[in-house]
Amino acid sequence: MTDTPVMQATDLQRHYEVSGGFLRKPRVLKAVAGVDFQVTPGKTLAVVGESGCGKSTLARMVAMIEEPTEGTLTLNGKPVHPADWADLRQSVQIVFQDPYGSLNPRQRIGAILMEPLVINGGLTRPERETKAREMLKLVGLRPEHFDRYPHMFSGGQRQRIAIARALMLDPKVLVLDEPVSALDLSIQSAILNLLLGLQERLQLAYLFISHDLSVVRHVADEVIVMYLGRAVEKGPKDALFAAPQHPYTVALLSATPQADPTGVKKRIKLKGELPSPLAVPDGCAFAPRCWKVQDRCRRERPLLGDAPHAAACFFPENQG
């Protein structure tokens, strides 16, 4: 297997114009304000962060649902332009959070699975059906489910169907936008294990969006922590979980429940609210809530270095 990234993003940004009201100038909301990453076949890149930090917008840009305002996205070394979306779509597919909204209630499972093939052509009807049935088996559903409607399935099964549909076009990259957060805990692990098994078998590159650190710890190879549209820390999973550098990551990790009753738990409580994404502080975005804040943090924006494990902070924790 190769380590060449299948997808690479440089300074990816997405801005929205928010009208301030009648006769007022629209303001710009930077949902994603510059994120760099790359995903490699067979590896999982996890993006974590709290609500509103731009994770889902990032996922939608990667899945070519929304056009990046700035920055470039390359797929297999070729830059992605909206004009080529139609051709490149097959390589990037997405699984959504809510399994109840992501399947068309009026279509049978077979039709849902075969639809991507019908749209993109190239196969005869029997071939499509064979492929759809194989995929059904691959995600752990039974052949008789082929002719049923989505409302006959539980959430976990629906998510399996959504995954199967995403895989029908043999994508290189699978964007998973909180794929398990709507599911029961017991079903979560089954779906995660299914995803890991599929990744190994099909050498898929995953972009895994989540707010759940225990899930991320289970599936990720690389992790990016986002705060207010920017990556504040990135690194290999083990390094990041063992020695988080950015104070925000430290706080985030301290909030994860632990299954060890004897373990010492130091819960860091963040003060203050998440600043409005319309008025991000000039310096470090985290400065107003940081317990180590100094004058420099409020004036200058710290940058994320190029090191494998780097944090956008002037005074990182766990250095050395």
Partner 1 sequence: MDDALSAEAEIVPDRPGALREFWFYFRENRGAVIGLWIFAVFALLAVFGPWIAPHSATQQFRADALVPPVWQDGGSWKYILGTDPLGRDMLSRLIVGARFSFFVGIVVVVVAATGGILVGLVAGFAPKWLDSIIMRIMDIILAFPSLLLALVLVAILGPSLTNAMIAIAIVLQPHYVRLTRASVLSERQKDYVTSARVAGAGYFRLMFITVLPNCLAPIIVQGALSFSTAILDAAALGFLGMGAQPPTPEWGTMLAEAREFILRAWWVVTFPGLAILVTVLAINLMGDGLRDALDPKLKRS
188-207 footprint of partner 1 as x/- string (CB under 8 A): --x---x--x----------
Q: Does 179 bind partner 1 (CB under 8 A)?
A: no
61-80 footprint of partner 1 as x/- string (CB under 8 A): --xxx---------------
Q: Is the dihedral of CA 40, 219, 225, 158 positive or negative?
A: positive
* Residue pair 41/6 in contact by the 8 Å Cβ criterion: yes
- Would you call 75 helix, strand, or coil by DSSP? strand
If the CB atoms of residues 160 and 230 are measured against partner 1, the closer one turns out to be: 160
Residue 147 tokens read as 């002719």
276 CB-near residues (< 8 Å, 6+ apart):
none
Q: Does 90 bind partner 1 (CB under 8 A)?
A: yes
Q: Does 161 bind partner 1 (CB under 8 A)?
A: no
Site for partner 1 in 104-123 (CB under 8 A): 104-106, 115-116, 119-120
Site for partner 1 in 6-35 (CB under 8 A): none
Which of 149, 202, 193, 148 is CA-nearest to residue 174?
A: 202
* Residue pair 17/72 in contact by the 8 Å Cβ criterion: no
If the CB atoms of residues 174 and 297 are measured against partner 1, the closer one turns out to be: 174
Q: Does 181 bind partner 1 (CB under 8 A)?
A: no
Q: Does 93 bind partner 1 (CB under 8 A)?
A: yes
Phi, psi at 177, each rounded to 5°: -95, 95
User: How many residues bind partner 1, per CB under 8 A?
Assistant: 43
Q: In whole angstroms, what is the distance from residue 244 CA to residue 310 CA?
A: 9
Q: In whole angstroms, what is the distance from residue 43 CA to residue 49 CA?
A: 20
Q: Which residues bind partner 1 (CB under 8 A)?
A: 63-65, 86, 89-90, 92-94, 96-98, 101-106, 115-116, 119-120, 139-142, 145, 148, 151-154, 156-157, 162, 165-166, 168-169, 187, 190, 194, 197
